[in-house]
Structure 1
Amino acid sequence: MVSCFQLFVTLGMFIAYCINYGTESIHNTSSWRITMGIGFVWAGVLAFGVLFLPESPRHVFRKGNTELAKHTMSKLYGVSENHRVIAQEILEMRIKLQEEEAEAATTRWYDAFTAPRMLYRIILGVVLQSLQQLTGANFIFYYGNTIFRATGINNSYVTQMILGGVNFGTTFYGLYVVEHYGRRLSLMVGAAWMFICFMIFASIGHFSLDRENPPNTPSSGTAMIVFACFFITGFATTWGPIVWAVCTELYPSRYRSTANSISTLVNWLWNFLISFFTPFITSAIDFRYGYVFAACNFMAIIVVYFFLCETQGRTLEEVDNMYIEHIHAWSSKKWVPPLRTMHGAKDHEQTESEPDHELHDVPPAPQS
C-alpha cells in the first residue's frame, strides 16, 4: 500500500508530460497558466480524499480505542475483526506499548535519537532515501528534454512521454516485486541493474555520441534512449516504490512519524540539489555525470546487503525487535520472532474444536 504512493507519483508525472506536450504549441501565457491551473485540480482531489483517510491502527490503539484499530485492520486485511491475525497483531502492539510505558512515562522529541538502535535506523533511513535520489532517476526525468535534445531527437516532449509511460507502467510490476521477492533482494538487484544501465548510458554519451552535431550519430542517440528506458524499468520496479515501504517499516510506532519525516526531508533535499546543480555539472563534464550515479548505485548494493534487515511479512513490532537484538542484515530473512514461535507451538497443540482461523481469547483493551 505504501508503494502505491510511488505508483501515483509516476501517474502524475506521466500526466504532466502529456499536458506539457499538449501546451507546447501555445505561444502565449496560456501555455503555463493551463499547466499550473490543472495542478489545483489534483490538490482538490487530495484535500477531499484525506477526509476519508482512516487513522493508523497503532495510533488509535495507543489512544485506547482498540475496537477502531481492529476495525481498520479488518478492512485493510480483508478478514473479520476476530481473525487470529488481527488478535495476534493487537497482542504484539500491546506488548510493545507496555514495554515503552515501562521505559518512560512521556515521549520527548529527542527520544527518537536516543532510544535503542534508533539513531542507527534514522541514519539508515536517511541513507536509503538519499540513495533513492542518487540512483539518477530524477536526472533523467527532470532533464529528459535537454538530454534527448542533445541526442538529436526532434521533439523531446514525445521522448518524455515515452519515458513517463515506461515509468508508470513498470511501477505496477514493482507492487508485485515488493511483496514476492523481498525488500533486500529486490533493492540489490535493482541497484545492480541501474548501475549497468548508467555505465552504458554515460559511456555512449561521452565516447560515442557526437555532442556537437548529434544527428551524425543517430544509433548512439537511440541506444541512449533504450538504456534510459531500461534504467527506468529497474528504478520503477525496485528503488522507486520499495524504499518508501522500507522507510515506513524501519521504525517503531512511538518514533515513526519523527524518524520517517527526517528521512523524507533528506529525500527532498537531494531532489532539490540534483535539480539545481545538474545543469552546471553536465555543462562541465557532459554525460560523464552518469558515472556519478553509477557509483551511487554500486554503493546502494553494499548498504542494503550489510545494513538493511529483511522486513517483508513482518509487523512493526517484529522489525523493532530485530534491530534491537542486532540481527545481522544478511541473516535477517531467517530470523523467527519469539512470539511467532510461541504461537506456532500453540497452533500445533490446537484441538479440532477450536477453528484455526480465529483466536477467541482476544486480550483485553488497554486502559486509557
Structure 2
Amino acid sequence: MGLLQLVEDRPTPNAVYNWRIWACAAVASFASCMIGYDSAFIGTTLALDSFSDEFGFPEMTASHLALVKANIVSVYQAGAFFGSFFAYASTFFIGRRYSLHVFSLVFILGAGMNLGANGARGLGLIYGGRVLAGIGVGGCSMVVPIYISELAPPAVRGALVGIYELGWQIGGLVGFWINYGLTQTMAPSHEQWIIPFAVQLIPAGILFIGALWIKESPRWLLTKGKRELAMKNLCWIRKLPQDDIYLVEEVAFIDAAIEEQRAAIGVGFWKPFQAVARNRKVQWRFFLGGMLFLWQNGSGINAINYYSPTVFQSIGIHGTSTGFLTTGIFGVVKTAITFVWLFFLIDRLGRRRLLMIGAIGGSLCMWYLGAYIKISDPDANTSNTKLSSSGIAAIFFFYLWTAFYTPSWNGTPWVINSEMFDQNTRSLGQASAAANNWFWNFIISRFTPQMFLTMKYGVYFFFASLMIMSVVFVFFLIPETKGIPLEAMDRLFETKPVRKAHAIVTEELRVQDEEFRHDAEGAGLGVAKTQLTANKIEDTGA
C-alpha cells in the first residue's frame, strides 16, 4: 500500500464517496468561514486610519492602546469559550442541525450590533456585539466537526473535517485582503471600516439558510430512538439501499456503540460528565485533546492572525498599505497550502507525521525570525523603508513558517478531536476541545500586544520553544487515527506503544471484518441450502 493511498477499514462501495457528504460538510463549514474571516479582518480593521481616528486611538498612550485593542479582539474569544459549552446542551436536546440554526442566528445578531457603533456611541456596541458573535462561533466550532465526523466514511473523514479548516482559510483570505482593497479604493471614512464588519453577515446567512437543506446526523437520531428517520438520512447520505451490506454493518456498529453506552453510563444529559469524572482513561483523552490546542496556539498563529500589522512591523515592514499587502499574501499562502493538506495529506500521510514535521520546520523558522530582529532591530530603522537582504530572508522564513504550519497544526488538531472520543463522551469531548481552543486563543489574543511591547524578539523565541515541545508531546502521547472507525477509538487509545497503535488496531479490524463477512456468507449459504431442501421436498410431494 502506497504512502498516499486511502486506508479503508473495510471494503467500501464507491457510492459512499458521493457528492452529498461533501456538500453537507461544505454547508456546515460556512461556520468556519465566519471564524476565519474574523481572525483576519479584525487586526487590519483596527489598523485603519478611519477606525483609529473615529475612536481616538492617536490620543491614547501605547500601553492604553494595546489594552483597548486586546480587549476588542479577545472579548470575541471569551464569548466563544462559553458558546462551546452552550452547544453541548443544544446538540443533546435539539441535535446538530438545529444547533447550527440557533448559533448562526446568535452570530448574526452580534455582527449586526457592531454596525451600530460610531465615535459618539463609543466602543460599547462593538464589545457587546463581539461577545454575542463569539458565542455564535463558539457553538458552531463545537457542532460542525462532530457533525461532519458522524457523517463521514472513515477513509475520508480527515478530508471532510478538513473542509471545516478550508472554510476557515477562505474566510481568512477574504479578511486579510478586504482592508487592503478598501485602502486602495476608498478614502478614510465611517463607511470604510463599517464594510468589513458588515461582510461577517454573508457566511452566517449562508449557513443559516443552508442548514435547512443538510440532514441531521443519523448517529444522533439513533441515540434518540428515531430509527426510521435515521435510516432514511443514512441511505440518502451514502446513496445506498437499506439492505446493502455496508449499511447493515455501519448500523450494527452504531447500535452496538449505543447499547454499550446505555450499559456503561446511560444516555442522560449528565451521564457523560459522570463518565468522565470516574474514568481516568477518558480524562486522559480529554487532556490530550485540550493540549493539542495549547500547542496549536503556542505556535504563534493567532498572534499573527489577529495582530498581523504589528507582526510585520516588527520584521521591518512599514506603512499601512504595504503591511496590508504583506498580510494578504500570507492569507493566500495559507489557503493554497490548505488545499494540499485537505486533498493529499491528512488522510494519506496521517495526523502524527504532519504534526511533528510542521512543528520542527516551523520552530526553525521562528528561531531565525527572532535572531534577525535581535541583530537588525528593524524598529530602530523606521526611516529606511527598503528591506535589507537579511530582512528579505526574514520575510521568506515567515512564509516558510506558514508553509510548515498550515498543513500540520492549522487544522489537524480539529480533525483528531472530532474523532478521538467514543460514543459515550463524543459531544462533551468536542465541547471541551472547542472550549480549549477558544481559551488558549483568548490568552494569546489578550496578551500579544503587551508581549510585543515588552519581549520584542523574545516573542519569536517563545513560540519556537513551544513548537519544539509539541513534537515530544505528539511522538509519545498521540496515536495515529487515520482510517480508524469512530467505534474503535477506545481500542486505539488503549493500545501501547503509541507509535505502533495504529498498525496493531488496523490489523485487528481487518481480521475482525474477515470473520464477520465469513460468518455472514456462511449464514447466507445455510439459508440458501435450507430453501433448496424445502423446494425439493415440495417438488417430491407434488
Report the TM-score range of the alignment, normalised by the length of the smaller protein.
Answer: 0.7 to 0.9
Greater Cα shift, 1-10 or 211-220? 211-220
1:53 equivalent to 2:53? Answer: no
Other-structure match for 2:340: 173
| 3-state SS, counterpart of residue 253 of structure 1 | coil
| 3-state SS, counterpart of residue 452 of structure 2 | helix
Runs of 4+ in 1 over 6 A off after TM superposition: 348-352
Other-structure match for 1:290: 460
| 3-state SS, counterpart of residue 239 of structure 1 | coil
Other-structure match for 2:114: none
Q: Would you say the 8 A contact 2:261–2:267 is kept in 1?
A: no
Q: Would you say the 8 A contact 1:194–1:234 is kept in 2?
A: yes
- The residue correspondences of 1:31-46 to structure 2 (distance < 5 A) are 31-46=192-207
Greater Cα shift, 12-21 or 75-84? 75-84
- The residue correspondences of 1:241-320 to structure 2 (distance < 5 A) are 241-320=411-490
- The residue correspondences of 1:52-131 to structure 2 (distance < 5 A) are 52-74=213-235, 76-77=237-238, 80-107=241-268, 108=270, 109-115=273-279, 117-131=281-295
Other-structure match for 2:404: 234
Structure 1 residue 53 displacement after superposition? 2.9
Other-structure match for 2:182: 23
Match 2:498 to one of 329, 341, 344: 329
Q: Would you say the 8 A contact 2:495–2:501 is kept in 1?
A: no
How many residues align structurally? 354
Structure 1 residue 157 displacement after superposition? 0.5
Other-structure match for 1:8: 167
CA distance in 2 between counterparts of 1:310 and 1:229 reads: 28
| Shift in alpha-carbon separation, 1:269–1:104, aligned structure 2, 3 A | closer
| 3-state SS, counterpart of residue 131 of structure 1 | helix
Structure 1 residue 349 displacement after superposition? 8.0
State the AA in 2 paired with 1:122.
Answer: F
Greater Cα shift, 97-106 or 263-272? 97-106
State the AA in 1 paired with 2:208.
Answer: A
Q: Deviations over 1:75-128 (max 9, x none)?
A: 555655444333322222222222222223444233233346110011111100
CA distance in 2 between counterparts of 1:10 and 1:312 reads: 22
Structure 1 residue 52 displacement after superposition? 2.2
CA distance in 2 between counterparts of 1:84 and 1:159 reads: 53
State the AA in 1 paired with 2:470.
Answer: A
Q: Would you say the 8 A contact 1:196–1:294 is kept in 2?
A: yes
Greater Cα shift, 245-254 or 71-80? 71-80
State the AA in 2 paired with 1:238.
Answer: S
Please list every run of 5 or more consecutive structure 1 residues that lacks an aligned counterpart in the other structure: 356-368
State the AA in 2 paired with 1:166.
Answer: V
Q: Would you say the 8 A contact 1:58–1:253 is kept in 2?
A: no
Please list every run of 5 or more consecutive structure 2 residues that lacks an aligned counterpart in the other structure: 1-159, 526-542
| Shift in alpha-carbon separation, 1:70–1:120, aligned structure 2, 3 A | same
Q: Would you say the 8 A contact 1:89–1:315 is kept in 2?
A: no
State the AA in 1 paired with 2:249.
Answer: Q
